[in-house]
Structure 1
Amino acid sequence: MFREKFTLDKAYFRECFDESLPLSDRAKPKYPLLVFLIVLATLSWVVVKNQYLASFLALMAVLEVVAFVYRKPWWVARQMLSRAAGSLVVLDMDNDGIKAVNPYKQYQFLWSEIVAAEQTDKGVVLKTKRGMQYISRAAISQQAFDFILEKTKI
């Protein structure tokens, strides 16, 4: 019914991250892990009196904070290093579902498998039991975008 084509480039990956993050469980830092590491570091320093272990645990907490702060550039860089980066994606949408194919990966979502569809400012995030998939409004026609929204009304 609809066939759309777009390229997986850095701008698409950045938009994908920005629009998907608020709907993800990774939007907040891992506070329990940070508290646990800091408490262990303090106990290692004070009770066990092992400065090396305390320093290691404190550095693990710092590394966790750095990983959270730089999660977007790290995720985008990993996507850009993947072999799918720069490839052309062909998105087919019909009454059965959505099928996306590029030279390195393909996936298909039946409309019945989609448990939620969240419209964002720039696209739509489709949630299934397997995970989330973002589709940018800029990458497809307005008719195709409206078709997705109509089919995913839950």
Structure 2
Amino acid sequence: MTQSSSYTANFTLDKAHYTECYTQSSTLEHNKKTYFKANILTVFGLIILFATPVNPYAAWFVIALGILETLSVYYHKPWWVTRQMLSKASNSKVTLTIDEQGILTESFHVNSRILWADVTSVVETDLGFVINFSLGKSVTGKDIASKSYISKACLSDEAISFIKAKNPVMV
């Protein structure tokens, strides 16, 4: 006879939660490769400005796009957190239920379930778990993947152990 396990936790989608989500799940690195597109746009704009008879407004527009791209990469985290804080789900209470079927997230705005059969991997971070899962196949036949973050701050030790035990691929 197997025992059915179910763990429930509550948390609020506040700035601290969104900041933790971003820092623990983001793969953006600030290196030369990340800024490559911005640098190319800026250099291309400068070439247009100084080496061609094209209207300088077009050149300045391309230079401005390069600078905007640089700023969007540099301020990616605060911009992402701000966008989440401006969403209608911000500051709402969320009930998280982890059971034999999967992970159920319920709030006033969103009700979603990630089935364990759809989970491709679980990456344990210092402060939580990044759940990678499949949403199915696209029209072209490729897998549509997504990820979700669960903070350990709202989980009991038993729930953490349960996630580790249910994990198909622990990274």
Which of 71, 82, 90 is residue 87 of structure 2 equivalent to? 82
Give the alignment's Cα RMSD to 1 decimal: 1.7
Amino acid at match of 1:147: F
* Alignment match, 1:110: 115
Aligned to 2:138: none
List runs of 5+ in structure 1 lacking aligned partners: none
Q: Which of 40, 60, 63 is residue 36 of structure 1 equivalent to?
A: 40
State the match for 1:65 in structure 2. 70
Q: Alpha-carbon deviation of 1:36? A: 3.4
Counterpart of 1:132 in structure 2 is 147
- Based on CA coordinates, which of the two structures has the bigger radius of gyration? 2
Give 1:30 deviation, angstroms.
4.1
Deviation at 1:87, TM superposition (A): 0.9
| Other-structure match for 1:9 | 14
Structure with the higher helix share, 1 or 2: 1
Distance 2:35 2:117 in 1: 36
SS of the equivalent of 1:78 reads: helix
Q: Which amino acid aligns with 1:133?
A: S
Q: Describe the superposition over 1:68-100 as per-residue Cα deviations: whole angstroms up to 9, x where unpaired.
A: 111111111111111111111111111111110
TM-score (normalised: structure 1): 0.89
Aligned partners of 1:51, 1:80: CA distance in 2, in Å? 39
Give CA deviations for 1:37-90 in whole Å, capped at 9, x if unaligned.
Answer: 134313312124432111111111111111111111111111111111111111
8 Å CA contact 2:35, 2:70 repeated in 1 = no
> For this pair of structures, how many residues does the alignment match?
151
Partner Cα distance (1:80, 1:34) in 2: 27
Structure 2: state its 5+ residue gaps.
1-5, 135-144
Distance 2:23 2:163 in 1: 20
What's the TM-score once normalised by structure 2's chain length?
A: 0.81
Secondary structure, in 3 states, of the residue corresponding to 1:63?
helix
Greater relative contact order (Cα 8 A, min sep 6): structure 1 or 2? 1
Distance 1:65 1:32 in 2: 9
Greater than 6 Å deviation, 4+ residue runs: none
* In 2: Cα distance, 1:48 partner to 1:60 partner: 20
Structure 1 stretch displaced more, 141-150 or 117-126: 141-150
